[in-house]
């Protein structure tokens, strides 16, 4: 990390904050119309205990939902990628399911398992995020060139060996591309549920409390906390990608 790599984004962040503060000040907006950065810190400090407690709830629910997505998405992608019949059968179902706006599913799930806050939230995070993973894995597997299979098949390798040594690693770049999309989606899913569910927990619930008590600086503080958490989750995926699929990145020549 050079000074440039840290300094440039940091300077941009500070400039943005100053500009925001100036914009609110010059227009004389009250903080129920637009909170300024200087309102947000006190709001955070006042509820700092809840921020960490609820932040943890949001984080672990998102991560568990995402893990379920990975397991189920990879499994579904494998089935569709390796069998043409299964692909033809499942694709329309999957596309139809994905076309339903998940915001409409949220109240249904909330009623279906009323009071089960953790399960509801994880379920929505999972439902909203498995689609890109399933599609990318299935495309990665079904577009595997036959020669790749043949180099091992001609030696008498089993289907599983071919999958493990060739098909799976070859699909990793597509998988991580989808995981970057999925992590953001899962995060959206978690918050949708947390906002809607009464008597829940999580940052979404804190946001809703801010809304009910007309505490606008608190709502903005939640937004900033969510943005920070989203960035952290995203870069965790990027770091994993570097470790497991770094080979796909080509050096500029």
Partner 1 sequence: MSNLIDIKGVRHAYKTPSGPLPVLDGLELSVPEGGFVAVVGPSGCGKSTLTRLVAGLMKPDAGEVWLHGELVKGPKSTVGMAFQNPVLLEWRTILQNVMLPLEIVSTGMSKREQEDRARHLLDLVGLSGFEDKRPSELSGGMRQRASLCRSIVHKPEVLILDEPFGALDAFTREDLWQTMHKVKAEEPFTGVLITHDLRESIFLADQVIVLSGRPAKTQYVMDVHLTGERDIEMLYTPESADALNTLRQQIRIAQGREAA
Question: What is the contact surface with partner 1 in residues (CB under 8 A)?
Answer: 145, 147-148, 150-157, 161, 165-166, 169-170, 172, 245, 247-248, 250-251
Q: What is the 3-state secondary structure (H, E, C) of 116-143?
A: CHHHHHHHHHHHHHHHHHHHHHHHHHHC
Q: Considering the complex, state which of residue 41 and residue 164 has its C-beta at the smaller distance from partner 1.
A: 164
Smallest gap from residue 151 Cβ to partner 1 (A): 6
Burial 153-192 (b: 16+ CB within 10 A, else e): eeeebeeeebbeebbbebbbbbbbbbbeebbbbbbbbbbb
Q: Considering the complex, state which of residue 143 and residue 213 has its C-beta at the smaller distance from partner 1.
A: 143
Q: Considering the complex, state which of residue 50 and residue 248 has its C-beta at the smaller distance from partner 1.
A: 248
Smallest gap from residue 153 Cβ to partner 1 (A): 6
Smallest gap from residue 23 Cβ to partner 1 (A): 48
Smallest gap from residue 144 Cβ to partner 1 (A): 10
Q: Considering the complex, state which of residue 2 and residue 154 has its C-beta at the smaller distance from partner 1.
A: 154
Smallest gap from residue 71 Cβ to partner 1 (A): 22
Q: Considering the complex, state which of residue 107 and residue 246 has its C-beta at the smaller distance from partner 1.
A: 246
CB 61 within 8 A of CB 202: yes
Smallest gap from residue 129 Cβ to partner 1 (A): 26
- Please give the Cα distance from 9 to 6 (Å, whole number): 6
Smallest gap from residue 147 Cβ to partner 1 (A): 5
Q: Considering the complex, state which of residue 1 and residue 147 has its C-beta at the smaller distance from partner 1.
A: 147
Task: Give the Å distances, CA to CA, from 114 to 107, 117, 228.
Answer: 10, 8, 30
Running DSSP on this structure, what letter comes out for residue 202? S
SS3 content of the chain, % helix, strand, coil (to 5): 85, 0, 15
Cβ contacts of 193 within 8 Å, gap of 6 or more: 106, 109, 110, 120, 121, 124, 125, 200, 204
Q: Considering the complex, state which of residue 44 and residue 176 has its C-beta at the smaller distance from partner 1.
A: 176
Cβ contacts of 204 within 8 Å, gap of 6 or more: 58, 190, 191, 192, 193, 194, 195
């Amino acid at each position: 990390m050079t000074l440039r790599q840290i300094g440039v984004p940091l300077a941009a962040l500070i400039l943005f904050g100053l500009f925001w503060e100036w914009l609110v000040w010059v227009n004389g907006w009250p903080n129920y119309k637009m909170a300024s950065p200087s309102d947000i810190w006190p709001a955070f400090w006042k509820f700092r205990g809840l921020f960490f407690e609820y932040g943890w709830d949001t984080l672990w629910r998102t991560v568990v939902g995402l893990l379920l997505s990975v397991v189920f998405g990879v499994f579904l992608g494998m089935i569709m990628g390796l069998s043409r019949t299964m692909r033809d059968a499942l694709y329309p179902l999957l596309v139809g399911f994905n076309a339903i706006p998940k915001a409409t599913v949220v109240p249904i799930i909330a009623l279906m398992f009323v009071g089960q806050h953790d399960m509801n939230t994880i379920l929505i995070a999972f439902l909203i995020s498995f689609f890109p993973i399933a599609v990318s894995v299935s495309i990665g597997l079904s577009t595997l060139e036959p020669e790749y299979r043949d180099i091992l098949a001609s030696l008498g390798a089993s289907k599983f060996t071919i999958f493990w040594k060739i098909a799976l690693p070859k699909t990793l770049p597509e998988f991580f591309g989808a995981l970057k999309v999925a992590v953001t989606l899962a995060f959206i899913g978690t918050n949708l549920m947390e906002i809607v569910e009464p008597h829940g927990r999580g940052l979404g619930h804190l946001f809703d409390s801010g809304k009910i008590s007309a505490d606008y600086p608190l709502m903005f503080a939640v937004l900033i906390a969510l943005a920070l958490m989203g960035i952290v989750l995203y870069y965790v995926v990027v770091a994993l990608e570097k470790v497991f699929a770094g080979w796909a990145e080509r050096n500029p020549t």
